[in-house]
Structure 1
């Protein structure tokens, strides 16, 4: 893919808001054509019109990646309209909150259905196209894979699985010339904090760290730069890079700090 995105077809899941919508805007600015995949059709149509007004071309496809056959339908539509797919950004996800003792197995299953199994479906449905184009798979994970926080057990487990999946795919696809990028967002503006444990948007939910979050468009620029450069991992935001470095190079100190925070409740 070289160092540019012009003419590439980029399928983005979770494209109706946050990082996904910002990625769609960013790739259009660079001459790519996004396939917009999400559950909220009105949001997708609105975003598609915005991109068209900006001179871009996109394809909105309403899809629930948790349901068998739906991502395959979206991929089929992309092939019909654009001829194939060069880049996949598996971005759809949400967070189930709760301490281990309070979680039910249904809670954990619901978390994995989107964050892990939905991502697996997305990759399996698009892998033939990406292998043919020698393109890129970008899997959006979380700092939770490196620094799991108490009260987020289901989410932490799901994002650790995403990292393991990215690392495995990178080895399996090495001979095929497919780049696999693990995206590790720090604190980025999105609707994730306002989505409840059932994956339903709730405007009344409060984001306690909203002031620390960086704009989604800023994060999108970093992610697309990493895709174009065919990097293995992109830790987004400066505070994210600091936290990742702490977890990697000072795990004892990091664990002690997390333990102190957990004791304070």
Structure 2
């Protein structure tokens, strides 16, 4: 896909201070886009903006907690005021709640859905009026776990299943409008997600135990993601192991279930202070 697609386009990325969000900011910036990043941790946002500006990218940071609709509204308006419009909105902010099903509380389930599902929905809901003006692109960060459920990760998987349904419904609603909707479904990608606890707080002392041999560098994943957005794809599974996993989940659900059940005892939990599985 030509690298000129996003030249001088305005891109807003939630959860843009680290991991996949920061890698997307760098990739869009390298393609000539004007980039706005938002998130809860201002120092990280400012560090990304400084890095982008040093590379010649017109960049902007705005604090935003996607569980607060007023934050989302204010962020959209700030981006439009700063850059004069909006061409791409990436609903990337999210985290993973982990733990055995019977150990998880209602508040943990609500916290998961407030960020990963409602936060994504409201991000695009308030971005869409501006995307309609530019015939732009709405992007939702899903996960391979939106196709198969991992043991000890029921809330996270459920949120990503919901996000996949949201993307399909939104894409159908936008048909013929000139605005596209792309669902990105990564497998294991370098990020902080395995070091964030069930209260969505970063735990610097936690180690990412996910299989290193399967982990994709964030910049490699971001390149594939941006190409999918440029092509206005409906869905894009990122990483080779992710493609295999989703294929098996669709075409061999029984086998997939047996493999996951067998692996269940090896999946470490994030609940109660132990790092858990998850990617998004």
Counterpart in 1 of 2:276? none
Tell me if 1:85 matches 2:82: no
5 Å-filtered alignment, 1:91-240, equals 91-211=92-212, 212-240=214-242
The separation in 1 between residues aligned to 2:135 and 2:174, in whole angstroms, is: 10
Q: Judge conservation of contact 1:100–1:151 (CA < 8 Å) in 2.
A: yes
**5+ long unaligned stretches in structure 1:** none
Question: Which SS does the other structure have where 1:65 is aligned?
Answer: coil
SS in 2 for 1:157: helix
2:255 is aligned, of 229, 253, 256, to 253
Matched residue SS, 1:213: coil
Distance 1:264 1:119, change over 3 A: closer
> What residue in structure 2 maps to residue 60 of structure 1?
61
Q: What is the distance in 1 between the residues matched to 2:53 and 2:207? A: 33
Q: 1:43 aligns to what?
A: 44
Per the normalisation by structure 2, the TM-score is 0.91
Aligned-partner SS, 2:69: coil
- Kindly indicate whether residue 4 of structure 2 is the aligned counterpart of residue 7 of structure 1: no
Please state how far the C-alpha of 1:253 moved relative to its aligned partner.
1.6
Question: What's the offset of the Cα at 1:262?
Answer: 2.9
| Alignment match, 2:273 | none
Query: Structure 1, residues 148-171: CA drift from partner, whole Å, max 9, x if none?
Result: 111111111111110000000000
What are the equivalent positions in structure 2 for 1:14-29 lying under 5 Å apart?
Answer: 14-29=15-30
Deviations 1:190-226 (A, max 9, x none): 0000000000000122222251311100000000000
- How far, CA to CA, are the matches of 1:45 and 1:261 in structure 2? 40
Q: Distance in 2 between matches of 1:65 and 1:261?
A: 33
Shift of 1:120: 1.3
Q: Which runs of no fewer than 5 residues in structure 2 stay unpaired? A: 268-280
CA distance in 2, matches of 1:70, 1:263: 40
Distance 2:133 2:253 in 1: 40
Give the Å deviation of 1:264: 6.8
Seen in structure 2, the aligned counterparts of structure 1 residues 191 and 263 have a Cα distance that, compared at 3 Å, is closer
Aligned length: 265
